[in-house]
Amino acid sequence: MATLLYRIGRFAFRKAWYVVAAWVLVLGALLGTGLALGGQTQESFTIPGTESQQAIDKLENLFPSAAGAAATVVIVAPDGQSVNDDTVKQEISAVADDLGKLDQVAAVISPYSEYATNAISDDGTTALLKVQFDGPATDVTDDTLKQVTTAGDTLDADGMTVSYGGEVFTNQTFGLTITEGIGVLFAGIVLFITFGSLLAAGLPLLSALIGVGVSFAGITVVAAFTSVSSTAPMLAVMIGLAVGIDYALFILSRHRSQLAQGMDAEESAAQSVATAGAAVVFAGLTVIIALLGLLVVGIPFLSVMGVAAAFAVFAAVTIAITLLPAIMGISKGKLAPKPGSRSARRAIAAASHDDESAAERAGNAENGAVEGESSAAATPAKPAKPSLGGRWVRLVMKAPIVFIVAVVGLLGVASIPAFSLDLNLPTAASLPESSSARIAYDTIADKFGPGYNGTIVVVADITQTTDIQNDLAGIRSDLEAVDGVATVGPGIPDETLDTAIFQVVPTTAPDAPETKALVERLRDMKGEVEAQYGTPFTVSGQTAVAIDVSNQLSNALIPFGILVIGLSILLLAMVFRSIAVPVKAALGFALSVGASFGVTVAVFQNGLFADLLGVHSTGPIISFLPILLMAILFGLAMDYEVFLVSGMREEYVKTKDAKRAVRVGFQHGARVVTAAALIMFFVFFAFVPEGEGAIKAIALALAVGVFVDAFLVRMTLVPAVMTLLGKHAWYLPKWLGRILPNVDVEGESLRGHIEEREWARRHEGAVTAEDLAVEGSGAPVSFDIPAGSVAVVTGETAARRLIGAAVAGRIAPDSGHLQVLGHCLPSESGPVAKRVTLVDLDSRRPDATTTVGDALNERLRLGLPWFRRVPPGDADELVVRINRALAGVEGEAPMDIHRTLGELTPLAQSLLAVALGVADRSDVLVVDAGDGDFAHPSTPAFAGAVASIADRSTTVIIGLESEPAGHASTVGDRALVRIALPGSDPGASQTIPSTDPSASKGGPR
């Protein structure tokens, strides 16, 4: 992965403006499409398959007038008057008549109607006017709602107070405020302090904002085709900002450190993307996988939310590894810290990974790192003081047990409130007190009782009863007798007498635990009612839907937690090749989640510091917060773990000193992790003061989780535990090491690739090998083949084929160095395979009925675009070359394009196979004669024939059983390179016949 990212970073640096233009086009296209389609968010909290949702689906077919969304117009009479006064009654009745005439309104129940149930308060001051729509809340248009409020507001002119409640008016949509901008400003300040440069501080902000724009625009497009909760884009913005800034910070920090050490800007950008970028990709993938894991919960609105957030993280990762290096390419050396600056000194310290050994270097850099003068030649300066991170890790390592007990105890206490976690969907009680829906909610609770805000709908199947009225009356009486029921409306049958509905009013609020218990009691009595009346029923309504959603999410919480923790152990075991490290990381993650839950419950459920944080009301936690928090915090925790512990592992691999590895690794990553954690904390916490409902709670939970995980778990608990474990922290059973794939997050393969590439650059030959060993080919071999020459490789057939396959980029060498056309192998096998053709004559299987011309034209066509034809004469030219090679060979007749392959001799078929390889237009042609038709003393003559067919510029490598006789140094007019593999036997051979030099010039171009 590191090598691939290295190439991506180098490409983006070199083609900077193209990459920038591509991202601008992507952003513009998504924004334009979203605006054109008019995608809008809408709230739809449903779970297919639950009892409450099945009942709603049934009502849509059998009792549509009762299945739609409902609204409540709450009317308070003028002071000193009653809603039963004639004038007030007439005005309210007139409004009810007007509402009944509106489109999308299926029915209106006046408080004075015989179908109304307790619609007038006991003191006569308040009346409830029920409006039933003909579809779900997501289908009710804004225009219809405006018409409803316009009709109701006419009562205000008569001195009444009107407010509107119900799901269609419980607006839980969220938007950006100036407070979020303050969070970004704080992030900018942290970046400036970290980098000491406005330009460097601005790049992470710029890349993160572009990523947020891309994700937000993409969600808008999706919203045109499916229901997307307004929480989804806000969550995507919040996460996209945080991870976008952090991921850019990690890569840019590495880039500036390398620039300060004198590395070329292009090479630094490529290596930064390959090393820090690899950790970014890994961290991003963990977040994405965890968020996509929400799909298995089976709740549509939560699945959309998870996919939206995952898309935001994907955009942040992609921009970090493509757009950021492109901006580096535009900025070039301007991002380097100024010589002698604190950033430059820190970069040199980071290069040494140790405060003591870096102190003198940093002082030298401060005094002597001027243009044209290296720090090594500078006048020694007073040693720099150890960094704050260095001092902190030394303190922790002096008393690790004390810090472990302190952190675990503190987080354990903070987690205690989590054991009383109560989940539910948001109600109007969580809205600002000034909103109409909140006023209506509070008025109903005050005048009628809290249960009137969450009516439960009981849907009865009356197709089997013969005494409908008496049975409905009996069921009503039984429902009224249930503990927790305030009142029950009469059973209302539909027109076809198939279904009847009861409005059950609880004594408690819709989000109260007692209401959940009531729903369960009602469902428990279904068997008894069906046995007595022959009337099955189901419990539904928005209150029951919310309870079903919460119950399903609560049930999924523990399995999802086990999945996330198990995933973290597996991923970290792959990265760090250790058992203890991932287990320790998973336990630390559990502590972070527990503390985050505990603080969130204490604030939003128990009211601790609620006024200070602007919490409008306390109550149950929004039901999808825990599972979202676990998914998001998991990825962020693994992010910090990778950046801190990867440095420890790197140092341990080099020195085998476990304690030094903890100290050096911590110092290497502490500053960037501190900056990243502070940025995330500020971005998340900025959504708390002005956030609404779900976003406020999610933001606080994430802010607390990030702070706790970064500073208490990763930067305190981790070094303490690693110090206690010592070398045992890096133990991995051999059998497990063989099973687990090796994820090269630290860039070990990249370092090998860079070394091999530098070695390759020192050689000008078309193919160069140094101590090259391929498994099964025998002892190592070294050779150098100039461009355009002919090389004859002799030795055992299997060994020749393996060496040829390695040169062609088909298999990886075991050891040694190998470069082909300036590309090092095996890390650049892809480009090599495209420029090298491999022909194994023993494996050819010619189609006897195909003509020579068809075979050549088909092969020539492969290298051309679909819209171009093979130039006339190319196949003929190759046939001419074959015939020149066959000339003078006894028993060989001239070849023409009309002959079939079955008519050719073995030699002619082999030369045609070579010509087909030449038709690939490759720069290197590798041919092996095998041990078949040419395994005899005349075999060396075949080398001259192959050379005469190939293009003059093509380097030819021929594998033969015996090498050419004599000491000839040329084949025709080409240089001859003899390569005898260890253990080969030259044997008898003939001199290669001369060939017409003109036959090997030019080509089928």
In a domain, 362, yes or no: no
Secondary structure E strands in 836-964: 836-840, 924-928, 955-960
- pLDDT for 937 equals 41
Tell me which of 493, 517, 542 is where a domain ends: 542
What span, in angstroms and rounded, lies between the C-alpha atoms of 450 and 780? 85
Residues 807 and 933 grouped into a single domain: yes
What span, in angstroms and rounded, lies between the C-alpha atoms of 232 and 136? 20
In a domain, 443, yes or no: no
- pLDDT for 972 equals 74
What's the CATH number where 17 sits? 1.20.1640.10
Block residue for tokens 């070990």 = 748
- pLDDT for 59 equals 67
What span, in angstroms and rounded, lies between the C-alpha atoms of 128 and 108? 11
Query: 955-960 and 790-794 as β-strands: parallel, antiparallel, unpaired?
Result: parallel
Average pLDDT of the chain to the nearest whole number = 80
Residues 183 and 260 grouped into a single domain: yes
Tell me which of 705, 734, 763 is where a domain ends: 734
Residues 596 and 653 grouped into a single domain: yes
What's the CATH number where 889 sits? 3.40.50.300
- pLDDT for 376 equals 39
Block residue for tokens 């925790």 = 637
Residues 879 and 963 grouped into a single domain: yes
Contacts for 138 with CB less than 8 Å, ≥ 6 apart: 42, 43, 44, 227
| Count of domains observed in the chain | 5
- pLDDT for 940 equals 59
Burial of 143: CB neighbours in 10 Å, binned 0-12, 13-18, 19+: exposed
What's the CATH number where 101 sits? 3.30.70.100
pLDDT tens, residue by residue, 859-876? 888 766 655 666 777 888
Pairs from 28-33 (Cβ < 8 Å, separation ≥ 24): 30/214, 30/217, 30/218, 30/220, 30/221, 31/213, 31/217, 31/220, 33/217, 33/221
What span, in angstroms and rounded, lies between the C-alpha atoms of 232 and 221? 13
pLDDT tens, residue by residue, 736-771? 888 887 766 666 667 777 788 888 888 888 999 999
Which among 373, 367, 281, 283 is positioned nearest to 322, based on CA atoms?
281
- pLDDT for 334 equals 78
Listed ranges 412-416, 570-574, 774-778, 965-969; the one with the highest mean pLDDT: 412-416
pLDDT exceeds cutoff 60 at 383 = no
Percent residues over pLDDT 90 in the chain: 13
Residues 197 and 287 grouped into a single domain: yes
Burial 840-864 (b: 16+ CB within 10 A, else e): bbeebeeeeeebbbbbbbebbeeee
pLDDT exceeds cutoff 80 at 213 = yes
Q: Is 638 left (phi over 0), alpha (psi -120 to 50) or beta?
A: alpha
User: What's the pLDDT band for 299 if we cut at 50, 70, 90?
Assistant: confident
In a domain, 1001, yes or no: no
- pLDDT for 1002 equals 35
- pLDDT for 415 equals 93
Residues 582 and 718 grouped into a single domain: yes
In a domain, 428, yes or no: no
CA within 13 Å, CB half, 188: 14
pLDDT exceeds cutoff 70 at 268 = yes
Residue 708: helix, strand or coil by DSSP?
Answer: helix
Residue 68: helix, strand or coil by DSSP?
Answer: coil
In a domain, 284, yes or no: yes
- pLDDT for 485 equals 92
pLDDT exceeds cutoff 50 at 598 = yes
Percent residues over pLDDT 70 in the chain: 84
Strand order in 70-76's β-sheet? Answer: 105-109, 126-133, 70-76, 161-166
In a domain, 87, yes or no: yes
In a domain, 353, yes or no: no
pLDDT exceeds cutoff 60 at 57 = yes
Q: Is 976 left (phi over 0), alpha (psi -120 to 50) or beta?
A: beta
Residues 789 and 909 grouped into a single domain: yes
Task: Find the domain containing 59 and state its range.
Answer: 51-169
Block residue for tokens 């513009």 = 28
pLDDT tens, residue by residue, 683-706? 788 877 765 666 788 888 989 999
What span, in angstroms and rounded, lies between the C-alpha atoms of 455 and 729? 57
- pLDDT for 567 equals 78
Residues 471 and 607 grouped into a single domain: no
Mean pLDDT over residues 511-533, rounded? 88
Residues 36 and 106 grouped into a single domain: no
User: What's the pLDDT band for 807 if we cut at 50, 70, 90?
Assistant: very high
- pLDDT for 998 equals 34
The number of beta carbons lying within 10 Å of the beta carbon of residue 618 is 14
- pLDDT for 8 equals 87
Secondary structure E strands in 764-840: 767-773, 781-785, 790-794, 815-820, 823-824, 836-840
pLDDT tens, residue by residue, 90-101? 999 999 999 988
Phi, psi of 485 (to 5 degrees): -95, 125
Residues 186 and 329 grouped into a single domain: yes
In a domain, 366, yes or no: no
Which among 963, 850, 998 is positioned nearest to 916, based on CA atoms?
850
Residues 789 and 697 grouped into a single domain: no
Quote the DSSP letter at residue 379. Answer: P
pLDDT exceeds cutoff 50 at 359 = no
Listed ranges 46-50, 171-175, 333-337; the one with the highest mean pLDDT: 333-337
Residues 674 and 536 grouped into a single domain: no
Cis peptide before 325 (omega within 30 of 0): no
Which among 734, 728, 798, 802 is positioned nearest to 769, based on CA atoms?
802
Which among 854, 862, 933, 948 is positioned nearest to 899, based on CA atoms?
854
